[in-house]
Structure 1
Amino acid sequence: GGGMGARPELDGLSAVHTHMSNTLNTPVEAFEYAYPMRVNAYSLRDHSGGHGAARGGDGLVREFTFEVPTEVTLLTERRSTSPYGLQGGEPGMRGENRLQHEGQENVLPGKVHFQATPGDKLTILSPGGGGWGKPDEENEAGR
Structure 2
Amino acid sequence: MLPRSTTALLLATLLTTTAAQAEVHEVQMLNRGADGAMVYVPDHLHIAPGDSVRFVPTQAGHNAASLPALLPAGATAFKSKLNQPFEQVFEAPGLYGIQCIPHLAMGMVMLIQVGDSQGASLPDNLPARAKARLAAQLQKLEAGQ
TM-score (norm 2): 0.30
TM-score (norm 1): 0.30
Greater relative contact order, per chain length (Cα 8 Å cut-off, separation 6+): 1
Q: Considering fraction of residues, name the structure with more helix.
A: 2
